[in-house]
Chain A
Amino acid sequence: MRIVIAEDEPVSRKVLRAALEKMGHQVVEACDGQHALEVIEEEKARLVIADWMMPNVDGLELVRRLRQQEQEVPENETSRYVYVILLTSRGQKQDIVDGLTAGADDYITKPFDRDELMVRIRAGERVIHLEDSLAAKNAELAQMALVDGLTGISNRRDFDDKFHKIAEQARRGGRPFSIIMIDLDRFKALNDSLGHEAGDDALRSVAGLLCGSIRSSDYVFRYGGEEFVCLLPDTDSEGARYVAERLRRTVEEGSLANPGNPPSNLLTVSVGLATYEPFSGPSPEGVLPLADQALYRAKSEGRNRVVVHQAEPAISRR
Chain B
Amino acid sequence: MDGVKTAPAPVDWEEGLARAGDDVDFFKELLELFLDDVPQRMENLSASLTAGELEESAGVAHSIKGASANLSAKPIQQVAAQLEQAARQGHPAEELTALYGQLKEEIARLAEFAASL
Q: Which residues of A contact B (CB under 8 A)?
A: 8-12, 14-15, 18-19, 22, 51, 53, 89, 110-111, 114
Contact of A11 among B18, B23, B71 (CB under 8 A): B71
Main secondary structure of the interface of A (DSSP, over half): helix
Chain B residues in 8 Å Cβ range of A10? 33, 37, 67
Main secondary structure of the interface of B (DSSP, over half): helix
Contact of A9 among B21, B26, B29, B63 (CB under 8 A): B63
B113: CB under 8 A from chain A? no
Q: Which residues of B contact A (CB under 8 A)?
A: 18-21, 23, 26, 29-30, 33-34, 37, 59, 62-63, 65-67, 69-72
- CB of B37 within 8 A of CB of A89, answer no
Listed by A's residue number, 9 A-B pairs whose Cβ atoms lie within 8 Å are A11-B34, A11-B70, A12-B66, A14-B29, A15-B20, A15-B30, A53-B59, A89-B65, A89-B66
- CB of A14 within 8 A of CB of B19, answer no
- CB of A89 within 8 A of CB of B30, answer no
* Top 6 closest pairs, chain A to chain B, by CB: A111-B69, A11-B67, A15-B70, A111-B70, A11-B34, A9-B63
A252 to chain B, nearest CB (A): 75
- CB of A19 within 8 A of CB of B67, answer no
- CB of A110 within 8 A of CB of B70, answer yes
Chain A residues in 8 Å Cβ range of B67? 9-12
B87 to chain A, nearest CB (A): 14
A190 to chain B, nearest CB (A): 74
Residue of B nearest to A110 (CB): B66
A70 to chain B, nearest CB (A): 29
Q: Tell me, in angstroms, the Cα distance from A114 to B21 when the chains sit together.
A: 8
